[in-house]
Structure formats: structure tokens, C-alpha cells
């Protein structure tokens, strides 16, 4: 499992085991099939190639297998550990013995690269071997501790999936090195922030896997020592003491990793000041700084100060000011979105509320799936909400997905996230079964009531709102409280409960949206629960202070955000299209894109006529405009940029109120 809170004293929900949940068919199974068959092997090839990433080659140099110099990114080690997580899932679930063998060989290689004192970061080790004068832990932007953290997380997962401790021993050595480093830094009053602090989560997972509370104490110490950093920055969220945080600011990946790690610490140790921080910062994110797709970290470079304009600092991948959510230049780095899922998942374990899985589902189905091509081999680093062919500036990253990104942190992070998607379907506590993301799946559940059974879910979600639950292979009887998540977008539907004697029905209305609805299942083997979530097309507007969305709406259906590419409107320029006021005029149709089943929304729109918008004047007089009806279709946001077209895309459109 990706995180193990089964013994965490402050966890009010626990995950099922990674091997206890199985996709059976449908949407999410097709996603994971592509990840396993295409993405995992492609990433392995990228990491092995000396002329591309040079990552495995760096480990080989450290191990003395080959001679050479360090090349690639400083965080390449950590990226490789992320890939290993996805490969572990792939090998275990598919019983791929050849992949198992390669993973164990990589673990052996990492072990031989590690120094006797536990240190493992290839750039610095090669520097020491070459006597280049490069020192350890001298520059926080060398990401050494970040690499350690991902090693620990991968090691804990490897142990849980296989029972083997080979990688766990390597990670424990790295943690021992960190323990000595923090002790020395504290004694000398020379504490530095570790950027993208994956080691908070990593140390807690190491504690959960080994039971050695030294690692939990070290996680606490690492978090507490943040307040000892001199001249802290908003970029790293360390300008203010952690317990004073109330707004989400700074570098989005670093923020989400920080609060995910803090959530892990709270799950183990509690702390009222820490939970106040987590809830306040979470609320600020949802109220002010998250995109409709679930993307976060709006700005390539921006500022997000605590109120005082004169204290603002330039921040990369910034959360920005409240409501500062541009579309064309939306950054939304994929790693930030993956980090948000990790943070939301831990918040759910702290307080099992539907809102956390609402966020997880929104991020996973929209921006995370949108970050990777439907065939699983091309990636976005950033995730814009509007593409224009000639934006008038040089984009930082390509306007199309590419197979290899110079900053290769996102593809393996996303791959492990999608490989682990089945872990976001259910959680349990006592006799409760919480539903998370909806998918066709089977899950082995064992409850305090004595129930030992397989919960089977049948659905075509997210394209259809009918979800049917039943219990199979009941080994021992016992009751279950099935908690059905009613997503916040739901306004109508029904819940039907059928047992041997009767069928009862409960109508769903808006008062239940965003909440859990409890169904007591006293005889699981004889009970079928059917959840119907109505999915009409709806228009969603942003807060009026989101300037780039003012006067525009986006099309949604169920949990999916839809967009339009220029080809979906017969080549009509997207800036000339207006939505009709009648949302019910739209129909749906399934099409194939890259051999994947994709649901489209089709209907009549309005095209503006009389304004060719070809003037290069900054301002001009509004000409007379008329409107004519045209047919167009929308595709899910996750499916855009998959048809080889160099065309515009947008999510938000104005509405035509003329008739």
C-alpha cells in the first residue's frame, strides 16, 4: 500500500492492502493497463539510457562498474525511486518475474553505490570519487534529502509488497545518515531547509514499515527544525514558523509535500496546533487557489506574500495571490498535482470526509490523467487550461506532450500515482467501508464485525453514474456500514437497497452532495446496493475575482471537466464560439482516441460573425456582431492533445444570451 495508517493512533480510516483491490474492467482498468504495458517499460528505458537521462549510469559509476562523470538532473536518483514504485506494483500485480528480477538487480546496484555511512546521492558520490571538491549537503537545490525521501518511500512499499528488506536496509542507512546530519546541524545552529521535503513522508513510512520509533522521532525533529532556518523563504514555506501557517503559499510542489508530511506526523502523534495549520491551509487552497481541473501552482514565477506587498518574494511554481488563476499561462506542474493527491489522501485518514475524495477524484480524472497521453508515452510538465498556437511569448515547456522532459521528475511521479490508483477506491475503519473514487473493481475487506468478504463494484463511471455494490465470497458473516460518497456536483439521483425481502429506495438531492450517505448492510451476502448519480451537462462558473474566467463558463458532466480543441468545432476559431443557455441541448457520444474509449459532449453552439479580430491594436471599437448556429463537440480535458493536431484548446467559453 502507498501509505500504511493501520496502526496510526490518529487515523480514523485505514487503507486496504495494495493486493486486496483489483480493477476488473472499465475506465480505470484501461488506464492501469496502459501504465503497466507502455509507461513503466518506457520510463525504464529512459532511465537506463546513458545518452538520455543517465540515471542508472550514475549509479553504475558510483558502484564502480564503469568510469564516467555525473550527468543528468540532480534529482534523478529520486525520480528513479519513484519509477521503482510503479514497477513494483506492475511486477506484483502481473506476477512479472522478469521485472521482479530487474528490480532486485537495481536494488543491488543502489546498495553497492551507497557509501558505508549510509549516504546515497550520485552527484556528490561521483564528485568525491573524482576529487572535484563537491561537498555533501552544501546546496539545498542539489535535492539530496529529496532523493533520500523517495528512497525511503519506495523501500517501505517494496517491503509491504514483497516482504523483502533489501531496499529497506539501504533506506535505513540513509535515514541514519540524516539523523547524524540533523544532530550536527542543530548543534552548530546551521539548519537548512530541504526543498521538496519528501523525507517527512519517507521517514514516517520507514517508521511504519520497521516499527523503529527513531525514524518517527527523526521526522518530528526534521519538521521542528524548519523553524531554525535563517532567512527563510516563501519559496520553501519557511519564512514563517510552521505553526503560524494559515495560507498556502510558495512553490506548490514543496507546499504539498510539506503538508502531506505534516499530515503523516499528525496521524502518528497528533498535535492541535498542527491540525489547525493543516485545516486552515487546506481551506485556503480550496477557497482561493485551485483550478477547476484540480491543478495547483498557477504561476511559473510569482509571489504569494502574507499580506505585506513589500515583503513579497519571487517564487517559482507559485501558488500566487488569491484568485490568481490564469488559463493560457497556467503552470500546474504535474508533481504538484500528484502531491495534492497524497496530501488529500492523508487528510482523509485524519478526518474521513467526502470533500477529500472529491478533490482526489477531480485531480486524478482531470489534470493527472491529462498530464499523460492516452497511449502512455508522452507527458506534460505543466498543465495549461488554454492553448493558443502563437501565445506571443516563448513557453517555458512545450505546448505538446513529449516523451522526455529535461526536468524528468513528473513522468515517474505520475506513473506511480496512476499505478497505485486502486488504493484510492476504498478505506475501512471498524465496521465502516468508505467509498473513494468509483471504479469497477473487487476488494477484499475484513471488518471488526467479523465480515470477511469481497466487495464487488460494477460501473461505467465516470461516463455513467450507476454504481452497483454487492458482496461475494463471504467467508464469515458480519454487518457492514457502507458509506457512499455523494460527490459535491450531484444534485439528484437515488440509492436502492435490495435484500431477500424487499427493495428500499432513497432519493438523492442537493442536501446530500459533498457528504457520505450511510447504508447499514446486515446481511452482506444477500444485499445489493445501487447508487445512481444523475449526470446532466452543467455549466460551472468561477468566482468573479478570477479575472480570466469572468463572463465565461466551463462544461462539466459528472466528475469530468470538458474542453474543446479547434478541430472539434470544424476548424472555427475557438474565440468566436459561445455556449447556448440551454444546457439540456447537449447529447453524449463515445468515440475512440488512441484506441481508448472517450465520451464526448455534442450540441449546437453559436459562432460570432462580423469581428475577425485581426487588428493588432491594443484597443479598438467593438464592431457589429451577429451570431449563427454551429455544431461542435467537447472532449474530456484528460483527452486533449492526443490527435496530432497543432490547434488551439480552451476550457472556458462565454454564453450567448441572444435567444
Residue 1 has pLDDT above 70, yes or no: no
pLDDT at 13: 97
> What band does 503 get if pLDDT is binned at 50, 70 and 90?
very high
Higher pLDDT, residue 543 or 305: 543
DSSP 312: -
For residue 160, give Cα distances in angstroms to 35, 164, 295, 559, 603: 21, 8, 31, 32, 50
User: Considering only CA atoms, which of 541, 531, 533, 529 is closest in space to residue 579?
Assistant: 541
Can you tell me which residue has the cell 448492510?
521
Share above pLDDT 70 across residues of the chain, in percent, rounded to a whole number: 100
Residue ranges of alpha helices (H) inside 456-614 are none
Q: What residues contact 45, with CB distance under 8 A and at least 6 apart?
A: none
pLDDT at 659: 57
Q: Rounded mean pLDDT of 222-246?
A: 92
Q: Rounded mean pLDDT of 605-613?
A: 88
Residue 306 has pLDDT above 90, yes or no: no
Q: Grid coordinates representing 394? A: 516563448
Q: What is the pLDDT of residues 162-172, one digit of tens each?
A: 999 999 999 99
> What band does 500 get if pLDDT is binned at 50, 70 and 90?
confident
pLDDT at 368: 98
pLDDT at 254: 96
3-state SS assignment for residue 535: coil
Residue 407 has pLDDT above 70, yes or no: yes
Higher pLDDT, residue 390 or 598: 598
Q: What is the pLDDT of residues 122-131, one digit of tens each?
A: 999 999 999 9
pLDDT at 619: 92
Cα-flanking dihedrals φ and ψ of residue 634, to 5°?
A: -115, 145
Q: What residues contact 244, with CB distance under 8 A and at least 6 apart?
A: none
Look over the chain and give the mean of its residue pLDDT values, rounded to a whole number. 95
User: Considering only CA atoms, which of 535, 512, 517 is closest in space to residue 461?
Assistant: 535
User: Considering only CA atoms, which of 108, 148, 49 is closest in space to residue 408?
Assistant: 49
pLDDT at 311: 75
Q: What residues contact 249, with CB distance under 8 A and at least 6 apart?
A: 234, 237, 255, 304, 305, 306, 315, 318, 319
Cis amide prior to 462 (ω within 30 degrees): yes
- Report the distance separating Cα 194 and Cα 225, nearest Å: 11
> What band does 397 get if pLDDT is binned at 50, 70 and 90?
confident
For residue 327, give Cα distances in angstroms to 299, 332, 652: 10, 10, 9
Residue ranges and CATH numbers for the domains of the chain are 1-10+259-424 (no CATH), 426-533 (2.60.40), 537-654 (no CATH)
The partner residues of 476 in beta bridges, in order of sequence, read 452
- Report the distance separating Cα 217 and Cα 327, nearest Å: 43
pTM value?
A: 0.97
- Report the distance separating Cα 291 and Cα 515, nearest Å: 21
For residue 400, give Cα distances in angstroms to 379, 397, 404, 603: 8, 9, 12, 27
Question: Where is 591: in which H helix or E strand?
Answer: strand 587-593
Q: Rounded mean pLDDT of 349-356?
A: 98
pLDDT at 616: 80
Higher pLDDT, residue 328 or 193: 328
Higher pLDDT, residue 585 or 371: 371
pLDDT at 12: 98
Residue 194 has pLDDT above 80, yes or no: yes
* CA distance between the termini of the chain: 54
Share above pLDDT 90 across residues of the chain, in percent, rounded to a whole number: 85
Cis amide prior to 105 (ω within 30 degrees): no
The 3-class secondary structure across 222-281, one letter per residue, is: HHHHHHHCCCCCHHHCCCCCHHHCCCCCCEHHHHHHHHHHHHHHHHHHCCHHHHHHHHHH
Q: Rounded mean pLDDT of 469-485?
A: 97
Q: What is the pLDDT of residues 483-494, one digit of tens each?
A: 999 999 999 999
Q: Rounded mean pLDDT of 186-193?
A: 88
Q: Tell me the DSSP string of 320-387.
A: -STT---STT----HHHHHHHHHHHHHHHHHS--HHHHHHHHHIIIIIIHHTB-TTSS-B-SS--SEE
Cα-flanking dihedrals φ and ψ of residue 268, to 5°?
A: -90, -40
Amino acid at each position: 500500500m502507498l501509505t500504511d495508517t493501520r496502526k496510526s493512533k490518529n487515523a480514523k480510516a485505514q487503507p486496504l492492502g495494495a493486493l486486496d483491490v483489483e480493477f476488473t474492467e472499465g475506465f480505470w482498468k484501461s488506464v492501469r493497463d496502459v501504465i503497466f504495458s507502455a509507461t513503466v517499460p518506457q520510463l525504464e528505458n529512459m532511465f537506463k539510457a546513458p545518452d538520455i537521462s543517465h540515471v542508472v549510469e550514475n549509479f553504475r559509476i558510483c558502484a564502480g562498474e564503469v568510469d564516467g562523470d555525473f550527468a543528468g538532473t540532480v534529482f534523478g536518483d529520486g525520480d528513479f525511486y519513484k519509477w521503482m514504485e510503479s514497477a513494483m506494483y506492475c511486477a506484483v500485480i502481473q506476477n512479472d518475474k522478469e521485472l521482479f528480477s530487474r528490480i532486485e538487480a537495481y536494488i543491488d546496484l543502489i546498495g553497492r553505490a551507497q557509501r558505508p555511512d549510509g549516504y546515497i546521492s550520485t552527484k556528490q558520490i561521483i564528485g568525491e570519487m573524482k576529487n572535484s571538491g563537491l561537498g555533501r549537503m552544501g546546496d539545498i537545490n542539489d535535492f539530496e534529502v529529496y532523493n533520500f525521501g523517495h528512497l525511503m518511500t519506495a523501500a517501505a512499499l517494496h517491503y509491504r509488497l514483497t516482504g523483502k528488506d533489501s531496499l529497506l536496509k539501504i533506506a535505513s542507512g540513509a535515514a541514519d545518515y540524516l539523523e547524524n546530519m540533523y544532530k550536527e546541524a542543530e548543534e552548530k545552529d546551521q539548519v537548512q531547509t530541504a526543498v521538496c521535503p519528501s523525507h517527512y513522508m519517507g521517514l514516517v513510512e520507514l517508521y511504519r514499515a520497521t516499527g523503529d520509533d527513531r525514524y518517527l522521532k527523526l521526522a518530528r525533529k526534521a519538521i521542528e527544525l524548519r523553524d531554525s532556518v535563517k532567512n527563510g523563504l516563501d519559496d520553501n514555506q519557511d519564512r514563517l514558523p510552521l505553526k503560524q501557517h494559515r495560507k498556502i503559499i510558495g512553490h506548490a510542489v514543496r507546499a504539498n509535500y510539506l503538508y502531506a508530511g505534516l499530515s503523516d506526523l499528525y496521524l502518528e502523534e497528533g498535535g492541535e496546533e498542527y491540525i489547525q495549520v493543516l485545516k486552515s491551509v487546506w481551506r485556503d487552497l480550496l477557497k482561493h487557489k485551485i483550478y477547476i481541473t484540480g491543478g495547483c501552482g498557477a504561476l511559473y514565477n510569482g509571489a504569494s506574500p502574507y499580506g505585506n506587498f513589500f515583503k513579497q518574494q519571487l517564487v517559482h511554481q507559485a501558488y500566487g495571490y488569491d484568485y490568481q488563476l490564469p488559463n493560457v499561462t497556467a503552470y500546474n506542474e504535474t508533481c504538484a498535482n500528484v502531491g495534492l493527491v497524497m496530501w488529500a489522501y492523508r487528510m482523509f485518514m485524519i478526518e474521513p470526509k467526502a470533500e477529500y475524495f472529491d478533490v482526489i477524484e477531480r485531480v486524478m480524472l482531470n489534470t493527472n490523467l491529462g498530464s499523460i497521453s492516452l497511449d502512455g508515452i508522452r507527458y506534460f510538465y505543466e498543465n495549461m487550461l488554454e492553448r493558443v498556437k502563437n501565445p506571443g511569448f516563448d513557453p517555458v515547456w512545450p505546448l505538446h506532450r513529449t516523451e522526455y522532459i529535461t526536468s524528468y521528475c513528473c513522468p515517474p511521479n505520475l506513473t506511480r500515482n496512476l499505478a497505485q490508483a486502486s488504493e484510492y477506491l476504498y478505506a475501512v475503519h471498524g465496521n465502516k467501508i468508505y467509498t473513494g473514487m468509483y471504479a469497477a473493481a473487487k476488494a477484499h475487506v475484513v471488518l471488526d464485525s467479523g465480515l470477511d468478504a469481497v466487495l464487488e463494484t460494477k460501473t461505467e463511471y465516470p461516463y455513467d453514474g450507476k454504481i452497483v455494490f454487492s458482496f461475494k465470497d463471504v467467508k464469515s458473516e458480519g454487518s457492514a456500514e457502507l458509506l457512499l460518497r455523494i460527490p459535491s456536483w450531484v444534485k439528484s439521483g437515488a440509492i436502492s437497497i435490495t435484500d431477500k425481502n424487499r427493495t428500499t429506495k432513497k432519493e438523492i438531492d442537493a442536501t446530500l452532495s459533498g457528504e457520505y450517505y450511510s447504508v447499514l448492510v446486515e446481511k452482506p451476502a444477500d444485499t445489493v446496493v445501487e447508487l445512481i448519480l444523475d449526470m446532466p451537462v452543467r455549466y460551472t462558473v468561477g468566482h468573479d475575482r478570477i479575472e480570466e474566467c469572468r463572463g465565461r463558463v466551463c462544461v462539466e458532466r459528472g466528475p469530468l471537466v470538458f474542453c474543446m480543441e479547434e478541430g472539434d468545432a470544424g476548424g472555427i476559431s475557438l474565440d468566436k464560439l459561445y455556449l447556448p443557455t440551454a444546457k439540456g441541448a447537449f447529447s453524449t457520444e463515445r468515440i475512440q482516441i488512441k484506441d481508448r474509449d472517450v465520451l464526448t459532449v455534442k450540441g449546437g453552439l453559436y459562432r460570432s460573425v462580423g469581428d475577425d479580430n485581426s487588428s493588432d491594436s491594443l484597443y479598438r471599437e467593438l464592431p457589429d456582431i451577429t451570431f449563427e448556429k454551429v455544431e461542435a463537440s467537447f472532449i474530456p480535458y484528460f483527452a486533449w492533445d492526443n490527435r496530432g493536431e497543432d490547434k488551439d484548446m480552451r476550457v472556458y467559453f462565454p454564453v450567448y444570451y441572444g435567444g
